[in-house]
C-alpha cells in the first residue's frame, strides 16, 4: 500500500497587504527550500485573490520548489454576469493549482449551502484544479452528539457527482468550527475519531483502496506546539492552517512536523 504524502496548506484568509503578502510568500519559499520540504510534503498557500498574481510573480522569480498557489474560494460558474466572482479559468490563468471549497467561514458567515459547495467542488475538479473540500461541525452540533452525522452529510453532499477519477485531485479538510481561530484545538483523539469516520465514509462512497489514498487534513488552531501530536494520528495527513500560517517560521515548523510525522498508509 502506498503512503499518503503529507500535505499542509496556509489559509491567509482576509489578511496581509500586497507588500506583506509578497514578503510572507518569499519567507515561506525560502524556508521550504532550506528544509527541502518538497521532498517530504506538499505545501500550498492561499493568499487573498487580489494578491495571487503578486505572490505568483514572487514565487516564480526563483523558488521553483516553493509552495504551490491556492485560492480561498472559486465560483461554480465558468464566466458571465456574476459580479465579484472569480472562475476556475481565471485562477488557472494565475497558475493557481488548488482551491478551498466549503470553508466554514463561507458556510457559516457567507451562507453557502451544501449544494453551492458541491457545485464549486465539481466545477473546480472538472476544470483540472486540485480541490480541498472543508467540512466540520459547530460547537452546538458537537455538544448534541451530531459530529459524525454533520461531517457525513457535508462529505456526501460536497462530493455528490464527483467521480472516482477525480479523487487524485481531492483533499478533505476536517475543521471543527469551534476550533477555528479560537485557540481551542480538538484533542488528537477527537480529531482522529472524526478523520477515521470520514475515511470510512469515503470507503463506502468509493472503495477502501481509494479512501486509503485520500489525504484528510486537520484544521483549527494548529500551532507549532500541537502539530506533531495531531499529525501522529493514523488518519491525519497534514493540516489546513489559518492564523499560524501568517508567520513563516511557525508555518514552516508545522510543515516540518507534518513531513516528519505523517507517514500513514
Chain contacts with ligand 13P (rule: CB under 6 A): 11, 103, 175, 180-181, 219-222, 240-244
Residue 197, all three cell numbers? 469516520
Q: Which is nearer to ligand 13P, 66 or 242 (CB)?
A: 242
Whether 175 is a known active-site residue: answer yes
Q: Which is nearer to ligand 13P, 240 or 259 (CB)?
A: 240
- Degrees to nearest 5, angle at CA 131 with 130 and 133: 160
Q: Which is nearer to ligand 13P, 91 or 222 (CB)?
A: 222
* Integer Cα distance of 131 and 91 in angstroms: 12
Q: Which is nearer to ligand 13P, 75 or 101 (CB)?
A: 101
Q: Which of 197, 193, 107, 205 is nearest to 160 (CA)?
A: 205
Whether 264 is a known active-site residue: answer no
Q: How far is the CB of 180 from ligand 13P (least distance, A)?
A: 4
* Residue 128 and residue 90 in contact, taking contact as beta carbons nearer than 8 Å: no
User: Which one is catalytic: 76, 175, 195, 197?
Assistant: 175
Q: How far is the CB of 106 from ligand 13P (least distance, A)?
A: 10
* Residue 258 and residue 34 in contact, taking contact as beta carbons nearer than 8 Å: no
Q: How far is the CB of 223 from ligand 13P (least distance, A)?
A: 8
Q: Which residue is nearest to ligand 13P (CB)?
A: 242
Q: How far is the CB of 83 from ligand 13P (least distance, A)?
A: 26
182-195 burial: b if 16+ Cβ within 10 Å, else e: eeebbebeebbbbb
User: Which one is catalytic: 58, 76, 103, 197?
Assistant: 103
Q: Which is nearer to ligand 13P, 6 or 220 (CB)?
A: 220
* Residue 236 and residue 216 in contact, taking contact as beta carbons nearer than 8 Å: yes
* Integer Cα distance of 46 and 73 in angstroms: 9
For cell 458571465, name the residue: 80
Q: How far is the CB of 80 from ligand 13P (least distance, A)?
A: 29
Active site residues: 103, 175
Amino acid at each position: 500500500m502506498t503512503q499518503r504524502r503529507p500535505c499542509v496548506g496556509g489559509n491567509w484568509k482576509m489578511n496581509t497587504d500586497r507588500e506583506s503578502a509578497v514578503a510572507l510568500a518569499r519567507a515561506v519559499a525560502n524556508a521550504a527550500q532550506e528544509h527541502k520540504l518538497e521532498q517530504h510534503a506538499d505545501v500550498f498557500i492561499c493568499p487573498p485573490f487580489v494578491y495571487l498574481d503578486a505572490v505568483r510573480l514572487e514565487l516564480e522569480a526563483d523558488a521553483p520548489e516553493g509552495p504551490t498557489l491556492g485560492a480561498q474560494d472559486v465560483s461554480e460558474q465558468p464566466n458571465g454576469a456574476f459580479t465579484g466572482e472569480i472562475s476556475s479559468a481565471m485562477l488557472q490563468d494565475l497558475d493557481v493549482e488548488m482551491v478551498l471549497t466549503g470553508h466554514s467561514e463561507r458556510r457559516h458567515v457567507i451562507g453557502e449551502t451544501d449544494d453551492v459547495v458541491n457545485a464549486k467542488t465539481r466545477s473546480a475538479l472538472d476544470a483540472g484544479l486540485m480541490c480541498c473540500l472543508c467540512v466540520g461541525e459547530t460547537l452546538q452540533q458537537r455538544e448534541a452528539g451530531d459530529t459524525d452525522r454533520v461531517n457525513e452529510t457535508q462529505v456526501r453532499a460536497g462530493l455528490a457527482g464527483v467521480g472516482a477519477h477525480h479523487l487524485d485531485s481531492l483533499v478533505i479538510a476536517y475543521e471543527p468550527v469551534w476550533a477555528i481561530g479560537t485557540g481551542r484545538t480538538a484533542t488528537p483523539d477527537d480529531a482522529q475519531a472524526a478523520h477515521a469516520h470520514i475515511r470510512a465514509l469515503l470507503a463506502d462512497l468509493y472503495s477502501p483502496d481509494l479512501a486509503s489514498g485520500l489525504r484528510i487534513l486537520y484544521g483549527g488552531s494548529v500551532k507549532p506546539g500541537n502539530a506533531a501530536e495531531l499529525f501522529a494520528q493514523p488518519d491525519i495527513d497534514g493540516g489546513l492552517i489559518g492564523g499560524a500560517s501568517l508567520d513563516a517560521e511557525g508555518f514552516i515548523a508545522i510543515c516540518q512536523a507534518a513531513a516528519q510525522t505523517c507517514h500513514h498508509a
